[in-house]
């Protein structure tokens, strides 16, 4: 089974509008975390936001917020007031711990976001 599922290969949004990028996950580990990364066409991976499985409140970082629904195993990214510079590939990733210590990151297949005027 896929550990991280991003069902939207591509999304369009009008500038200044909000957009939600979907992410569902699968794990039996009680301690885990969800990341969102942005990858522009230049290729670098840019960290956006992190939510731990025990965090009580949804994470927010500026225009980014994470809609974490633990029972549904979903961790959707909400981008408010979209800007042209938000056009990029967005990856959801899950952190799981190794038994011997350390953490493993598993990425989804990504969603290509295009912001239009």
d(CA 26, CA 66): 17
Of 38-46, 54-62, 65-73, 75-83, the segment contacting another protein by CB under 8 A is 38-46
What is the size of the binding site for another protein (CB under 8 A)? 27
d(CA 11, CA 23): 13
Ranges within 39-98 binding another protein (CB under 8 A): 42-47, 50, 52, 91, 93, 95, 98
> In a 3-state reduction of DSSP, which class is residue 28?
coil
In contact, 49 and 70? CB cutoff 8 Å: no
Find the farthest-apart pair of alpha carbons in the chain and give their distance in angstroms, rounded.
50
107 binds another protein (CB under 8 A): yes
Minimum distance from residue 91 beta carbon to another protein (Å): 5
Chain residues that interact with another protein, rule: CB under 8 A: 4, 33, 35, 37, 42-47, 50, 52, 91, 93, 95, 98, 100-110
């Amino acid at each position: 089974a896929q550990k991280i599922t991003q069902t939207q290969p591509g999304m369009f949004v009008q500038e200044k509008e909000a957009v939600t990028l979907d992410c569902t996950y699968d794990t039996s580990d009680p301690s885990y975390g969800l990341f969102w990364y942005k990858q522009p066409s230049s290729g670098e991976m840019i960290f956006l936001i992190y939510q731990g499985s025990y965090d009580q409140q949804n994470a927010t970082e500026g225009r980014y917020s994470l809609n974490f629904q633990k029972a549904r195993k979903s961790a959707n990214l909400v981008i408010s007031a979209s800007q042209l510079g938000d056009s990029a590939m967005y990856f959801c990733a899950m952190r799981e711990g190794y038994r011997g210590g350390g953490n493993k990151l598993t990425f989804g297949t990504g969603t290509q976001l295009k912001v239009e005027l």
